[in-house]
Structure 1
Amino acid sequence: MYLKNRTLTYTKTCSPKEQIEKLKELLKTADAVLIGAGAGLSASAGLTYSGERFLKEFRGYKTRYGFSDMYSGSFYPFETPEEYWAYMSRFILVNRYDVPQLKVYQDLLEAVQDKDYFVLTTNVDHQFQLSGFSKRRLFYTQGDYGLFQCSVPCCQETYDNEPIILRMAAEQKDFKIPPELIPKCPVCARPMMMNLRSDGRFVEDSGWHKAFRRYEAYLKAHKNSACLFLELGVGNNTPGIIKYPFWQMTAENANTAYACVNLGEAFCPNEIADRALCINGDIGFVLQELKKIL
């Protein structure tokens, strides 16, 4: 319904300062703020999968296997499980465990902490909780780098992986982990996999369903509220999770507003343009400037 007529609302007619002032007013007048966060938010915070960060952490993999970014490496056809988990343990370590609190997330929390907020995110790097967002206000739809699941799966359970990931990363040699560290399901002994939504095997465990129910309750409670749908760094890989629902809910309630901050991908349909703010810019910069004027 909303794909044919895109418009860069405010982007061409307002200066960056005016746009950020407008965002401040939207936050100020909103009864509730529903944040929709995609990969662009973490990228703005510095969690990029290519370039200098890839070379710093995985230069040897580029030389040996030929791939040139972390994401491609996670799909590389390694010949053995020992090689696969040597790479994935390092990938998980640098993107989930060996990561400090990121300023972009802290600035976002400061902007909404006095509001009745909720976070819907496709990110799997745990940054919201690491930065102090309440777990009860977070629905992580696509999984978590910090969880394993059975690859079959034989059950709807997930398992914290930090201890074994740290061992894999510490004990690997020549791009391989010791065979005894290959993770296996404690129920059926088949191979484990990451709890990431990539196919029909994704496990929605009890924690996932509790978060989903909290999200449904939040939407129900604010069905007629002056809610701000704040979309940050959401691309077009999975628009049906955040982007399209945000557009639809904005269209259905005249009390709501929609704001999108995304470098190179800030747009909305004409149907909601009169209640939309699209900022084509770096999220970190926008939040930093917003922090100054709040």
Structure 2
Amino acid sequence: MNEISWNVLNNNNLTAAGRLSMALDEADAVLIGVGAGMAAADGFTYAGPRFTESFPDFIEKYCWLDMFQASVFDFETLNEEWAFFSRFVDLNYMSQPLGESYVRLNELLEGKNYHIITSNADNAFEIAGFNPDRVFDVQGKYNLLQCSQGCTQKRYNNEALMKKMIEQQNSMRVPDDLIPYCGECGAPMELNRRNHTDWMVEDEKFCLDQKLFNNFLDENINKKILLLELGCGYMAPQVIKHPFQKMTENRSNALYMTVNLKDYSMPHEIRDRLVWLQEDIKKLLSDVEKEQQFTKMKTYETEH
């Protein structure tokens, strides 16, 4: 494969918004990796008031610092565990509002050849109107249940159950009859999310989404591809960050662009095809939208 040049790499006078806009225009295909940083940019944080206002009783009892710590806590009973997770699912899926950054990203990608892989398990892409066939939820979905023992490759919608748990819980406990158990083996059910052993139930829908993702990579192997990373850190770098970097190293036609406020070490092998934008994602996407609107206006004025 012949190495493909990217004009955006040779233009150091552009703003961050200008560089992203130019890269999007140059690319024949765009692969977007979205992590927790993008959700946080829209206010969907796992710490601060959003956390403390939703779980004051649990925080008082266990002195948790954030929802990450809480979500891996070893609860004493399933009654208490589901009292927490029912509120967690409501906050981070069922009642999560529309994210402005997701709406802008959807608009910026209109008409483009793109696919998304996300480590977030919320409903941000659904509520923003993205084509579900172009979004791969590789780490699971908070609105689904799975057998904790993985005895069956099935996932079950949990939203009606979560609402009942929220309504009926008392003193940080849900009633015994609301605790979900696997209909196949009798083991407790749990949220569909990849755990610390990198395991989760992957049903037919998951496998179809994975196939669509892999098909996109195969179909665009010889095209000029932008690997755009939005808010991916090092909590689970093996999911998006490391594969994106390896893909850039192996594809001479790829450009790796990462948007993150934190400074992470980057492999030397890809530094000649790497753009790091140390920007707030929400502001950056807003600026790109404004820049493209301005460009369209100037083009219209020139033509008329």
Shared fold (TM-score greater than 0.5)? yes
Distance 1:14 1:39 in 2: 29
The alpha carbon displacement at 1:142 in A equals 0.9
2:43 corresponding residue in structure 1: 46
The alpha carbon displacement at 1:125 in A equals 0.8
2:300 corresponding residue in structure 1: none
Q: Which moved more, 1:198-207 or 1:216-225?
A: 198-207
Describe how 1:159-198 pairs up with structure 2 within 5 A.
Answer: 159-198=156-195
1:117 corresponding residue in structure 2: 114
Which residue among 278, 288, 291 is the counterpart of 2:289? 291
Describe how 1:1-294 pairs up with structure 2 within 5 A.
Answer: 18-198=15-195, 199=197, 201-265=199-263, 268-294=266-292
The alpha carbon displacement at 1:200 in A equals 5.7
The alpha carbon displacement at 1:249 in A equals 2.1
3-state secondary structure, aligned to 1:259: strand
Does the aligned pair in 2 maintain the 1:260–1:267 contact within 8 Å? no
Distance 1:196 1:74 in 2: 11
Gaps of 5+ in 2: 1-8, 293-304
Does the aligned pair in 1 maintain the 2:230–2:259 contact within 8 Å? yes
Amino acid at match of 2:90: L
Distance 2:65 2:31 in 1: 36
Matched pairs, number: 283
> TM-score, normalization: structure 1?
0.91
Does the aligned pair in 1 maintain the 2:258–2:275 contact within 8 Å? yes
Does the aligned pair in 1 maintain the 2:96–2:123 contact within 8 Å? no
Does the aligned pair in 1 maintain the 2:33–2:117 contact within 8 Å? yes
Q: Which whole-Å deviations, capped at 9, do the CAs of 1:167-190 have from their partners, x for residues lacking one? A: 101111111111100011122222
Distance 2:231 2:199 in 1: 26
3-state secondary structure, aligned to 1:168: helix
Distance 2:104 2:55 in 1: 30
Task: Evaluate the alpha carbon distance shift between residue 254 and residue 75 of structure 1 in structure 2; reply closer, same or farther with a 3 A threshold.
Answer: closer
The alpha carbon displacement at 1:57 in A equals 1.0
Q: Which whole-Å deviations, capped at 9, do the CAs of 1:101-132 have from their partners, x for residues lacking one? A: 11011111111122111001111112112211
Does the aligned pair in 1 maintain the 2:57–2:172 contact within 8 Å? no
Amino acid at match of 1:238: A
Does the aligned pair in 2 maintain the 1:31–1:227 contact within 8 Å? yes
The alpha carbon displacement at 1:274 in A equals 2.7
Does the aligned pair in 1 maintain the 2:145–2:156 contact within 8 Å? yes
Does the aligned pair in 2 maintain the 1:148–1:159 contact within 8 Å? yes
Distance 2:35 2:15 in 1: 24
Q: Which has the higher contact order (CA 8 A, sep 6+)?
A: 1
The alpha carbon displacement at 1:78 in A equals 2.3
Identical counterparts, % of pairs: 37
Task: Evaluate the alpha carbon distance shift between residue 14 and residue 48 of structure 1 in structure 2; reply closer, same or farther with a 3 A threshold.
Answer: farther
Gaps of 5+ in 1: 1-9
Distance 1:239 1:62 in 2: 29
3-state secondary structure, aligned to 2:54: helix
Task: Evaluate the alpha carbon distance shift between residue 78 and residue 256 of structure 1 in structure 2; reply closer, same or farther with a 3 A threshold.
Answer: closer
